[in-house]
Structure 1
Amino acid sequence: MKKTIFLDRDGTINVEKNYLHKIEDFEFENRAIEALKILSDLGYQLIVVTNQSGIARGYYGEEDLEKLNNYMVEELKKNGVEITACYFCPHHLEKGVGKYRVECECRKPNPGMLLKGINEYQVDIKNSYMVGDRQSDLEAGIRAGVKPILVKTGYGKNQIPNLDERVQTFENLYEFATKLACKN
């Protein structure tokens, strides 16, 4: 069993930009690369789980997302950070078009992407976390049985009044990583 950090992408790893899909618009959150290196050095496998309703809405395609995710993974690899997997949900029940307008188990707050990662990568759920900037990220983590962590980047500052008592809050991914390093 492997301890794992599940990570939302937009607003957690990279700066939140509506419907981000172009490499030239991608920008890591402040100290996010350092944070991911710390987590990796602590022995956590890193799995990205991201809702991508821009695909459902027809703003960009799955190929665009794959290119962007590959870019992010390669940039992190240059800095000694290995991303184990990147899962995404391209669905949206109300705003989706065509085959993407479905109710699914993968769109957070549903835990489908996390459960897939748990099954595929032998995740030790008792020693794993879900880090995100939205209530839906936290709820997906709770439903999957991992510890929910809110970062105040992206939409995180607006989520604080709605928090479940199980949720720990940090200014950003770097603060979470450094505090976790102190525990280990």
Structure 2
Amino acid sequence: MPDLILYQRLFAPEMDVHISQTLLAKRWVQVDASLPLLHIRRADLTRKRRSELEQFIAITRGLLGRAPQQEAFLPDILDPRLTNLAFDIEDRLRLLDTNRLINTKALRRLPAGEKLDIRRRRVHAKWMRRLMLMESAFCGRHSEDFWYDPLYTRYLDRQRFDALFADSMAAGEPI
């Protein structure tokens, strides 16, 4: 997705310094704050916006699908108000903060057949919950669809799905 991630440049005073000694400068982009993604649904979107979100979700699912075989970094969709992913004023989807990409190392280390400990791996659990919310809101999927989706059943069983759905409802983000 061209321009999903803003142009950015990392400055370091010298080679091999700790990340805390660096500065990341990004191109500023004006976003359309009138429709925060957390509070809209498929019917609220133009065809172009719906298409961009569907493409983003497909790419993101692909990254999660590769996690058992190779390390990947998942886009940060964990912002409490989901403002890290937004449309700019030209209707292009933008990932605004790439400082907190989610590493899949813990998912890759999960033995085959073992399910994700959603209490111990809260970041990954919340990330999957958010992706399911986005699929529900923007692709028309229902919670029951996820019970049979091999992408999610690799990490979740029925009890874990129910716990994530309950967490989602409690957060005001019903899937």
TM-score normalised by length of structure 1: 0.26
Between structure 1 and structure 2, the one with the greater Rg is 2
Q: Which has the higher contact order (CA 8 A, sep 6+)?
A: 1
Task: Looking at secondary structure, tell me which structure has more strand per residue.
Answer: 1
TM-score, L = length of structure 2? 0.27
